[in-house]
Structure 1
Amino acid sequence: MGGISRMIKAELGEDTYVLPLMVGSNIADDMKNGFFMPVNDQVDLVCDMVKKDPRLQDGFNAMGFSQGGQFMRAYIQRCNTPKVHNFISVGGQHQGVFGMPKCTGQNFFCEEMKVLLNAGAYLPFVQNYLVQAEYWHDPLQEEVYKKSCVFMPEINNELAAKNQTYRENLQSLNRFVMIKFTKDTMVTPPESEWFGFYAPGQDKEITTLKESDLYKEDWLGLQEMDKNGQLVFLSVEGDHLRFSHEWFVAEIINKYLV
């Protein structure tokens, strides 16, 4: 985030206020919490952090990188005080994931995640302990996912009781920009970065956003936003979060952060 902050300030001026959201008192805590602090607790912390920041009170533009994409969207839907103007999701997994990311034996947190997901992503102790399980979307067990996953079904308004505030807050955005990485080997399936996902009951064929019930029944207001030109779908030819400085300046900073 330090590099992103410097890039923004270099283009928009050194007096531009950029707040990198750290969940924890230091980088090590932030990394650990990214694996093991319940997502809903993280969102609550961020809502409180942003609300108390005097320099954000007139609203701000927000970016979420990787899982930060769906977490920042949760801030918008649940809190949005102060208000987000433009929201840029960089590789966010808005329909969750169903597949192991590239984990190496040198990363303890990654290995621990794999053990827990293999043990049973929807077991209560896993849901309460492992962040990635909270957006683990098993298309072979759709009903179990909706019943037992504590974050993703609720934030996507997939449950029987629909939250109208989620629609209203999301629709208050000027632009909702979603960036998909076409050769993403971290996110399975990559189409989740545009709200696409596997059709229920199998893990081969993809249902796009516009083909989904979420869009057709407009649970989050995305269909209406799409018709109003508020949704922006961008793609980058590369792996997860791999983009050039020049592309980010031209396609993101100059178009949505100025």
Structure 2
Amino acid sequence: MTLIKNCIILLFCYYTVAESTDALPVVLWHGMGDTCCFPFSLGSIKKLIETETNGTYVLSLKIGGNMVMDYESGFFIHPDYQVRYVCDQLAKDERLINGYNAIGFSQGGQFLRAVAQRCSTPPMKTLISIGGQHQGVFGLPSCPSLSNSACEHLRKLLHREAYKEWVQRNLVQATYWHDPLNEEEYRQKSSFLSNINNEVFINQTYIDNLNKLEKFVMVLFLNDTIVQPKESQWFGFYTPGQDEEIRPLNQSPVYEDLGLNQLDSDGRLVYLSVEGDHLQMTSKWFIENIIPLLTEN
């Protein structure tokens, strides 16, 4: 009886703490070569957020029914399917009905942006993209989650075959491969990125939904050796026709075509940077720079 009583007291305390937090629920989406719940990656970030926000609900997205499928999704399940799957999961989660904040890591950043643009229910309030490749990539100099031989094969495949239909259909990284030397082919044959960037035709729903965000925060890693160019994390990219000069977001057609100019003029488009290679950040930096974005009203 005493044990049951103590359990009831503990449960009461837990739910009191969880409900007393001012922070909205948080949704996480992992990057390539990761899963929802590895204890050394998103598992530890989930715990850190729960601790620092006084027990807010954190959902770390898992694509498919198990960890193996979740891992493989980062390479082999088309982003359109993944986004539809996530939108369905979020709509069914009653704890998100009043809105949520979202954090995407690496390619999870552009995937969650697609969620914001395509699925307005439940409402995403703040989108935090940590190392996301919003203008795509043109190069894969390092992919430590794979063997060196697999990395090299992936690199060669993307350089040669990225815009072939079967590659676009079966390889996630091809869907945001952006060749500045072949801009028209990219726009017409990219099966994901050129669509969510409004580069094929203007989808007004994308603009309207993106502008419902209270904030869109983009984090760039200053010493990134994985994302080429690293400025893609801030929507910058190579000027068309060459692969050296970077064109910043405010000089890119995407700036107006996605309505990012309105977010920017309202002070809702936030640029953050951190020293370190791709996704290399300390808990201290995360607590000081990201946690406040999750707890502000």
Query: When the two structures are superposed, what TM-score results if normalisation uses the length of structure 1?
Result: 0.94
* In the alignment, structure 1 residue 17 sits paired with structure 2 residue 57: yes
1:5 to 26, 46, 54: 46
Q: How does 1:186-197 map to 2 (within 5 A)?
A: 186-197=226-237
How far the C-alpha of 1:74 sits from its partner, in A, is: 0.1
Distance in structure 2 (CA, Å) of the matches to 1:11 and 1:138:
41
Please tell me whether residue 175 in structure 1 is matched to residue 215 in structure 2.
yes
Residue pair 1:175, 1:230 contacting (<8 A) in 2 also:
yes
Deviations 1:104-151 (A, max 9, x none): 563786455335314410000000000000000000000000011100
- The residue correspondences of 1:96-245 to structure 2 (distance < 5 A) are 96-103=136-143, 106=147, 110=151, 113-159=154-200, 161-215=201-255, 218-245=256-283
Quick check: 2:108–2:132 contact (8 Å CA) kept in 1? Answer: yes
Code of the residue aligned with 1:156 in structure 2: it is N
Q: Which amino acid aligns with 1:175?
A: K
Answer whether contact 1:185 1:240 (CA < 8 A) is retained. yes
1:64 aligns with: 104
Paired residues of 2:117 and 2:210 also in contact (CA < 8 A)? yes
Tell me by how many angstroms 1:101 deviates.
3.6
- The verdict on how the C-alpha distance between 1:25 and 1:7 changes in structure 2, with shifts beyond 3 A counting, is same
Q: For residue 17 of structure 2, what is the aligned residue in structure 1?
A: none
Change in Cα spacing, 1:108 to 1:31, as seen in structure 2 (3 Å) is farther
How far apart, in 2, do the equivalents of 1:24 and 1:136 lie?
24
**Cα deviation, residue 31, structure 1:** 1.1
What is the identity, as a one-letter code, of the residue corresponding to 1:221? G
- Please state if 1:252 is matched with 2:282: no
Over the matched positions of the two proteins, sequence identity in percent amounts to 52
Cα distance in 1 for partners of 2:246, 2:115 equals 28
Alpha carbons of structure 1 residues 108 and 59: separation in structure 2 relative to 1, 3 Å: farther
Name the SS of the counterpart of 1:255 in structure 2: helix
CA distance in 1, matches of 2:58, 2:150: 28
Ranges in structure 1 where 5+ consecutive residues have no aligned partner: none
**Aligned partners of 2:72 and 2:160: how far apart in 1?**
20
Distance in 2 of aligned mates of 1:111 and 1:83: 40
What TM-score comes out, normalization by structure 2 length? Answer: 0.82
Q: RMSD of aligned C-alpha atoms? A: 1.5
The gaps in structure 2 that reach 5 residues or longer are 1-41
Q: Give the match for residue 51 of structure 1.
A: 91
Cα separation, 1, equivalents of 2:44 and 2:234: 25
Please state how far the C-alpha of 1:171 moved relative to its aligned partner: 0.5
Aligned to 1:19, the other structure's residue is in SS state strand
After superposition, the Cα gap between the structure-2 partners of 1:5 and 1:98, relative to the gap in structure 1 and judged at 3 Å, is same
Aligned match of 1:33? 73
User: Which one has the largest radius of gyration?
Assistant: 2
Cα distance, 1:112–1:83 mapped onto 2, change above 3 Å: farther
Whether the aligned pair in 1 keeps the contact of 2:143 and 2:226 (CA below 8 Å) is no
Q: Measured at CA, do residues 254 and 116 of structure 1 come closer, stay the same or move farther in structure 2, by a change above 3 Å?
A: same
Q: Within 2, Cα distance between the matches of 1:143 and 1:246?
A: 43
Distance 1:7 1:144, change over 3 A: same
Q: Is the 8 A contact 2:101 2:127 kept in 1?
A: yes
Count of aligned pairs: 254
Secondary structure of the structure 1 residue equivalent to 2:170: coil
Relative distance call for 1:68 and 1:257 in structure 2 (3 A) is farther
